[in-house]
Amino acid sequence: MPTTISSWVQNRRASQEKWQKDPLEKEENFLIISAFEQLLNNKLSASSTASRINEIVSPRLISGLRASVGCIWGLFADATKHFGASHTQQLADVIIAIRELPDVVNEKGYKVIRSGEVVWRGMPDFGWIFAEHGVRMLGFLSMLGCEES
């Protein structure tokens, strides 16, 4: 049964409300979900969505108050799983745009690292989040210009 964009957004927000205990991260995640909604409704381009996500999370990544970007990849995996082929290209284009964003750099001039990878270029936690969500990656990685094994 296909999921509508509005019902997917409503379910993601309900999940954040239920499970996210950090009020600042919850608010950031609500804003990210709104960016996804605009993308899926063709109101934001892939590059604008990537920039919006960066604007939302970079301040707390830079200050060290946001520990992970895994929730962002979880939203991508969930959307990919729920919408299938109908939005795959849009989602892939956003991931490519995120990977091409400038590295996040802290106040001391050092690149921000999460899970041993540079944010955004290294896409920390991307692979295991998709695997955890059970999204078949074959073909999807090649769309991103990544090697498949």
pLDDT, the chain, mean: 86
110-130 average pLDDT score: 88
Give me the percent of the chain exceeding a pLDDT of 90.
Answer: 59
Q: Is residue 71 predicted with pLDDT exceeding 90?
A: no
The strand ranges marked E within the chain are 113-114, 117-118
Segment 105-134 shows an average pLDDT of 86
pLDDT > 70? residue 121? yes
Categorise residue 118: left if φ over 0, alpha if ψ from -120 to 50, beta otherwise. Answer: beta
pLDDT for 128:
76
- Which residue's structure tokens are 């956003």? 94
Residue 54, burial from CB neighbour count under 10 angstroms (0-12, 13-18, 19+): middle
**pLDDT over 60 (residue 57):** yes
Given a contact cutoff of 8 angstroms between Cβ atoms, the answer to whether 56 and 28 are in contact is: yes
Rounded mean pLDDT of 68-83? Answer: 87
User: How far is residue 83's CA from residue 92's CA, in Å, rounded to a whole number?
Assistant: 13
